[in-house]
Amino acid sequence: MSPATIQLLSDALKILGPAIIAALATYKGAQLYLKAKVSELASAGELRARENLFTYYKDRLEYLWAAAKDAGVGIGKLYAIIGTQGDEAEKAEPAALNELRGFVSVLSTLLMQEVGITRAELQQAQLEDSPQFRRLQELAAQPDHQEQPKTTKALLDRLAAIVETYSFLCHCTQVVLESRMKELWDPYLSRRSK
């Protein structure tokens, strides 16, 4: 190699060396930034998904409380009317009581659908071992929720059971909500404690 070639290569290395090093450093920096940004976006997306899930459970809880309240008020009025008349109501208005029995049967069927939804939510939250899940299993297994109550007392008992079940569904949804909130905050709290 001639001295001119060596000088040319040396000058090229002096010029290109730092440029190559800067390009590699920029590439590695951009690669790290991209990984950090992807991780940040994934965390933000996960947080947003959890927020949406939290909102769903909160709205469901409000719906169930409203249903329990409405059912309680309406059923309380019916309970008072029927309860004060006792067996006289059966004799005085048998057609009206038969319609009420049919309505209570439909309401019981809808309530059992809510029981199924709440049971599925408990399973999704991995709470199958909870007492709430076991109680919902028992409720779902009861065959009498589709039968029409035959006596006035049975009708009143069914009405009271409907209100009680709606209140229990509210409790179960609150348990799911608390479980989801714990899942949401655990990653942040565990990072903070380290």
Residue 70: the pLDDT is 81
Angle at 124 (CA atoms; ends 127, 129), nearest 5 degrees: 15
- Contact call for residues 175 and 130 (beta carbons, < 8 A): yes
Which among 91, 88, 84, 83 is positioned nearest to 155, based on CA atoms? Answer: 83
Residue 32: the pLDDT is 76
pLDDT tens digits for the chain (194 residues)? Answer: 778 777 776 777 677 677 777 777 776 776 777 787 777 777 777 778 778 878 888 888 888 888 888 877 877 777 677 766 666 656 656 676 777 777 788 888 888 888 999 999 999 989 999 999 999 999 888 876 667 777 777 877 888 888 888 889 989 988 988 888 888 777 766 666 65
Token pair recorded at residue 184: 């949401």
Which among 114, 100, 105, 102 is positioned nearest to 66, based on CA atoms? Answer: 114
